């Protein structure tokens, strides 16, 4: 049974999904990107293929390790993709956004798609029914908003996110959570409504680590897929590591 390692190096976490054939069998959060960590993964899972999506300055030596031991692909704007990127500077599109877009068109073909990534930043990625990633938006993510209030004020605490949030806060913590989590939810509902007015045959897909805190507060009809980026990476690997 063929194994593929799909690495997603984001601003907050470094993760890897282990695929056997087309199925995810394990998702791991890595403590670091040292050569020892990557060699241990290769020795443990003996992958035939690997792919890396990175939006950080990662350890370049791991690319050499993966090239020497697997059929390896580094996701970038020159990768062979099931989408096109008719924008002014396609080389500036984050690898994570490309992977999310590819996962979206794989599972929802023929649709206008708004793919919402809820990570360090919130990304809205619009892929039209012709499989063109034509743009979107980027705004601060949940933890970034919570941390900024502590950093830029003298007395506000750093509050841990949670899904159970009151509309009207009754103390400092719940006021912060209401303003932040419900504020993001209303922001997303507004964006979704604006897209729905403009495009028909339209789906919204939510993904990313903060989905658990936000999905229940959205009024809009959405699909939720926490593993969308890994599914997109696997599909890209199959084409570029053939």
**d(C-alpha 7, C-alpha 18), whole Å:** 9
Distance, in Å, from the CA atom of 100 to the CA atom of 85, rounded to the nearest integer, reads: 13
What is the model's pTM?
0.92
Is pLDDT of 242 > 90?
A: no
Q: What is the pLDDT of residues 118-158, one digit of tens each?
A: 999 999 999 999 999 999 999 999 999 999 999 999 999 99
Least confident of 7-16, 41-50, 82-91, 206-215: 82-91
Closest Cα to residue 123, out of 135, 110, 132?
135
What is the per-residue pLDDT for 87?
A: 85
Active site residues: 96
Instruction: Express as a percent the part of the chain with pLDDT over 90.
Output: 96
Kindly report, residue by residue over 171-214, the tens digit of the pLDDT.
999 999 999 999 999 999 999 999 999 999 999 999 999 999 99
pLDDT tens string 63-92 = 999 999 999 999 999 999 999 999 888 899
- For 128, list phi and psi in degrees, rounded to 5: -80, 175
Q: CB-based contacts of 169: which residues, under 8 Å, 6+ apart? A: 175, 176, 177, 178, 179
């Amino acid at each position: 049974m063929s194994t593929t390692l799909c690495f997603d190096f984001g601003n907050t976490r470094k993760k890897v999904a282990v695929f056997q054939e087309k199925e995810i069998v394990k998702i791991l959060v890595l403590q670091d990107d040292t050569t020892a960590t990557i060699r241990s993964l290769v020795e443990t899972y003996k992958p035939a293929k690997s792919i890396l999506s990175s939006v950080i300055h990662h350890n370049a030596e791991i690319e050499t390790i993966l090239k020497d031991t697997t059929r390896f692909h580094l996701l970038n704007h020159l990768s062979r993709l099931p989408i096109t990127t008719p924008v002014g500077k396609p080389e500036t599109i984050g690898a994570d956004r490309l992977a999310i877009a590819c996962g979206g068109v794989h599972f929802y073909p023929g649709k206008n798609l708004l793919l919402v990534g809820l990570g360090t930043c919130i990304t809205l990625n619009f892929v039209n029914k012709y499989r063109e990633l034509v743009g979107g938006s980027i705004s601060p993510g949940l933890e970034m908003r919570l941390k900024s209030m502590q950093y830029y004020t003298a007395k506000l605490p750093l509050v841990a996110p949670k899904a159970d949030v009151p509309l009207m806060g009754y103390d400092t913590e719940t006021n912060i959570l209401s303003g932040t989590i419900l504020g993001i939810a209303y922001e997303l509902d507004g964006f979704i409504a604006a897209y729905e007015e403009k495009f028909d045959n339209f789906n919204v897909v939510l993904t990313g680590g903060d989905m658990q805190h936000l999905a229940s507060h959205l009024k809009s009809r959405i699909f939720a897929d926490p593993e969308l980026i890994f599914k997109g990476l696997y599909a890209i690997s199959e084409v570029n590591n053939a």
